[in-house]
Amino acid sequence: MLRVAGRGYGGEFRLAVALGLDGSVTGVRVLEHAETPGFSDILAADAPWLESFTTGDVHAVSGATVTSAAVMAAAGRAVERVRQEGMCP
The predicted model gives 15-37 an average pLDDT of 92
CB 74 within 8 A of CB 5: yes
Phi, psi values for residue 7, rounded to 5°: -130, 120
The average confidence (pLDDT) of the chain is 90
Asked if the model's pLDDT at residue 88 lies above 80, the reply is no
Distance in angstroms (rounded) separating the CA atoms of residues 89 and 69: 26
Per-residue burial over 18-56, b = 16 or more CB atoms within 10 Å of its CB, e = otherwise: ebeeeeebeebebeebebeeebbebbeeeeebbebbeee
Distance in angstroms (rounded) separating the CA atoms of residues 86 and 27: 20
pLDDT tens digits, 40-66? 899 998 999 999 998 888 998 988 899
Asked if the model's pLDDT at residue 86 lies above 70, the reply is yes
Asked if the model's pLDDT at residue 89 lies above 60, the reply is no
